[in-house]
Chains A and B, each alone.
Chain A
Amino acid sequence: MDALLKLLAVLTLIWGGWMYFKNADCDTELKKIHNELRVAEQEFSDAQAAYDAEVKKREALSGEVTALKENNQELRKEIALKAKEKRERAIQERRERLEAERKARAEELEKEQEHRIALLDREKQFEKEERERDEASRKEAETQMDAEQSEWEKEQKSQRLQRMIERSTRAMGRYLTSSAFVPGNVNDYGQIEKLKQNWTTYVRACIDAANKGDSKRFETFGRKLLNVANSLNRVSKGQNADCINDATDFLSEGRKILKAKNQLSKDNP
């Protein structure tokens, strides 16, 4: 019994001691584990802080990226706008340049047209003047020719009339004493002589009237001359019929002179 008790006491003592030491080990282990836990918690905290920092960094980066994207988008819009403005400006400049060129070309064409018109006008004017000059010179020449012709014709006519007057005058002069005078009877000699003197007087008067162009006087004396010729023929009992012919021819010549004189006075007023 004692031995069993002792054994039991030893065993319980061993067990208790073992439990005690195990407790100490456990305690140490627990402290160690707690240290590890603190380390782990610290690491976790660090990792969490790092994660939070990374998250913040990411948010910041994301914000920056977003800002950059927006900024780039704005830049693209601005570039597009500027490019559009540049294109529009270029188009406008090109349009203005083309418009200016068109205007300049139109002005040049207008000037050229005006110059051409002026040249044509000048040419027409020149042609007109030349035509007028030609016409004037032609008319002048024609006028001169006509005048010369007219003058020449007039002169010719005048000369012809003059010659005719001279010829008629000479012819009339031959009738101062008619060659056809026949004496007739002796008893009628005195009367015939008187008639012959009258004949001569009337012939002279007719020649004078004809030379002066006095047709009235010429016709008056012509009638008297015809009366004288008839009287001569009657007195000589028909032997002086030629006197009537002579008187008629004389008067005819005289009328020619009068007509010529009249024509001359018309031509040379």
Chain B
Amino acid sequence: MEKFINIGLIVVIIASIFGGRYYYSQNSNLESSIENTQKKIERLRKEITATKSKVNTLGIRQLNNEKSRLEKQQEQLKKQLESI
């Protein structure tokens, strides 16, 4: 009886060791994957920030201002042309 128990314990121990080792390696992979993913997310966020900041550097507002200024100027020039 005691042998069977010991064998069972040994089996449990072995199974626990293998199972734990398996999960340990899995966890390592998962953590590594998580870490990589987090780095990737971080990189993506940086890129998003950079992209958003790049949008600001495109100068759309300045172009809009320039466009409206040029449109006003065009109106004035047309009036001037008509007036000649």
Contact = CB atoms under 8 A, between A and B. Distances in A.
User: Which secondary structure dominates chain A's binding surface?
Assistant: helix
B30 A16 contact: no
A40 interface: yes
Interface stretch (A42-50, A98-106, A141-149, A224-232): A42-50
Interface string B7-24: 001101101110111111
Contact of A30 (B30, B64, B80): B30
A72 B67 CA distance: 12
Contact of B10 (A5, A34, A50, A71): A5
B60 A44 contact: no
Nearest to A82: B84
A40 B44 CA distance: 6
Contacts of A54: 55, 58, 60
Contacts, number: 142
Contact of B44 (A6, A9, A37, A69): A37
A86 interface: yes
B63 A65 contact: yes
23 contacts: A2-B6, A9-B10, A16-B17, A20-B23, A22-B27, A23-B27, A30-B30, A30-B37, A33-B38, A37-B41, A40-B40, A41-B44, A43-B48, A44-B47, A47-B47, A47-B55, A54-B55, A55-B58, A68-B71, A68-B74, A75-B74, A79-B84, A82-B84
